[in-house]
């Protein structure tokens, strides 16, 4: 049997079979299912399958936590179930009460599907921006400002954020059922140099009687998500009313004819304003909670992740970072929390007596600190034993408190939870970097000590994983 075939078969058995899958994708650690009938799932049996670290439901998705091998498991799942990844059953009719929870889950599901695929771009772009700072004249002075390599690293790093509307045009289109290349096209229109050039000249446009004031949509998130959401209805309308023999030409053309004025004149500006308010709202939290805002977010971060609400925080963080080039609340809090997971796993490792459990706990330390994967530790130790979760929260609060007091700021957006997240603090003063490192050290040490002192009740060699 193939390495993950048994695991995949047991997953399928306990989620109602391949025929119960409407769509499936994965992030860095989880299989994310949209299921036709949740009543067909067997949570208890699936939780006890070897290789499954946990199960959670958020954002309208049924999520099976696998860990670092999720990519291989996902590929095996597609092969075994004979389904196409990321493909949604358009004929699916899900019977749910359309209450506030339903719409909240739909929003979270849309954000997850639109933003999660962008993580590799964010990581790569941030790494290039980090190299500019480290190797440039402000730190190691290996490369000089104006040199070819300095210029190359700078514009490559900036490109990852500058063309964000184009990237989101693709990922949001995939999620919302829009033809992806049309989403790319609309994103390119929003950031076309000619359109942006109208800002400096103060020139306004008029399309179909709609007055358009040019805005700079580079590095923005919300304008494209709103536009693609509307576009999903516009394109579907034309697909229904236009005969198939004319659809190839007329559907994309008429879709763009409708969407260009709507995006440039209504939903682009609306999203821009919403982004501004979100950015200012997050930045104003420190005036309400002061330096305590960071440790509170840090202590509660893993809870927020488990509910899926962290996507709203991440969207806000990306918006603030894209507009200001730095962020001093969510990013430091998230990093402190991730390091606290390392400390929690380390404390559990030191406390445990069973050799197999100790080995598993230590593998969680490595998985988080090196691999940037927190779920194995959070679910395999924190949720399973409970007391360590408290230790993790104590460590996260302590590290976040230091970050809040010293105003630690992230200058590079590195959405991973491993040691490379320390590079987020590069870009400001050396003092900021030192305080960022101290924040992480405090989180690890305090969480490890708190977890060890709180202790845990081992239940045998198979109690983890």
Residues designated as active site: 27
Asked if 421 and 338 touch (Cβ cutoff 8 Å), the reply is yes
Sort 12 into a burial class: Cβ within 10 Å, 0-12 / 13-18 / 19+: middle
What's the DSSP call for residue 462? T
Residue pointed to by tokens 């430091």: 332
Token duo for residue 314: 């991440």
282 close to 316: Cβ distance less than 8 angstroms: yes
Rounded CA separation 326/304 (Å): 22
Give residue for tokens 């659809």.
247
Q: How far apart are CA 437 and CA 408, in angstroms?
A: 10
Which value, to the nearest 10 degrees, does the dihedral of the CA atoms of residues 285, 287, 290, 292 take? -20
Residue 388 and residue 453 in contact, taking contact as beta carbons nearer than 8 Å: no
Task: Yes or no: say if 42 and 14 are a contact pair by the CB < 8 Å rule.
Answer: yes
Q: Does residue 456 contact residue 355 with C-beta atoms inside 8 Å?
A: no
Residue 39 DSSP label: G
Residue with the two structure tokens 């769509």: 23
| Paired tokens of 461 | 């060699």
Is 72 strand, coil or helix? helix
C-alpha–C-alpha distance, residues 416 and 372, integer Å: 6
């Amino acid at each position: 049997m193939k390495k993950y075939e048994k695991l995949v078969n047991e997953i399928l058995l306990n989620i109602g079979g391949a025929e119960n899958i409407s769509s499936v994708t994965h992030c860095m650690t989880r299989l994310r299912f949209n299921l036709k009938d949740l009543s067909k799932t067997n949570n208890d049996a699936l939780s006890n399958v070897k290789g499954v670290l946990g199960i959670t439901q958020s954002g309208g998705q049924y999520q099976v936590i696998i860990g670092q091998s999720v990519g291989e498991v996902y590929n095996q799942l597609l092969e075994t179930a004979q389904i196409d990844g990321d493909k949604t059953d358009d004929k699916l009719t899900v019977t749910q009460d359309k209450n506030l929870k339903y719409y909240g889950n739909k929003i979270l599901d849309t954000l997850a599907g639109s933003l999660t695929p962008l993580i590799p771009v964010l990581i790569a772009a941030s790494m290039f921006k980090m190299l500019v700072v480290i190797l440039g004249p402000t730190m190691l002075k290996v490369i000089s400002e104006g040199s070819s390599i300095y210029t190359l690293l700078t514009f490559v790093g900036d490109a990852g954020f500058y063309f964000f509307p184009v990237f989101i045009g693709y990922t949001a289109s995939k999620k919302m059922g829009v033809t992806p290349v049309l989403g790319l096209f609309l994103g390119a229109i929003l950031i076309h140099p000619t359109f942006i050039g109208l800002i400096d000249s103060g020139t306004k446009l008029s399309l179909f009687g709609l007055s358009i004031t040019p805005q700079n949509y580079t590095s923005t998130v919300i304008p494209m998500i709103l536009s693609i959401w509307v576009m999903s209805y516009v394109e579907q309308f034309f697909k229904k009313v236009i005969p198939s023999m004319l659809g190839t030409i007329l559907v994309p053309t008429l879709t763009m004819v409708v969407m260009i004025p709507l995006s440039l004149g209504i939903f682009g500006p609306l999203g821009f304003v919403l982004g501004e308010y979100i950015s200012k709202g997050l930045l104003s939290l420190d005036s309400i909670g002061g330096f305590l805002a960071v440790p509170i977010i840090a202590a509660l971060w893993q809870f927020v992740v488990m509910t899926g609400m962290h996507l709203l925080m991440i969207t806000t963080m990306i918006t603030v970072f894209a507009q200001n080039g730095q962020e001093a609340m969510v990013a430091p809090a998230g990093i402190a929390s991730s390091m606290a997971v390392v400390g929690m796993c380390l404390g559990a490792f030191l406390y445990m007596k069973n050799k197999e459990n100790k080995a598993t706990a230590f593998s969680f330390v490595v998985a988080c600190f090196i691999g940037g994967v927190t779920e194995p530790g959070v679910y395999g130790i924190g949720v399973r034993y409970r007391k360590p979760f408290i230790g993790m929260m104590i460590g996260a609060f302590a590290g976040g408190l230091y970050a809040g007091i010293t105003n630690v700021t992230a200058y590079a957006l590195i959405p991973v939870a491993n040691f490379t997240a320390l590079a987020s603090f590069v870009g400001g003063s050396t003092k900021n970097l030192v305080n960022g490192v101290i924040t992480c050290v405090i989180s690890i040490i305090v969480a490890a000590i708190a977890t060890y002192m709180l202790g845990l009740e081992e239940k045998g060699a198979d109690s983890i994983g």
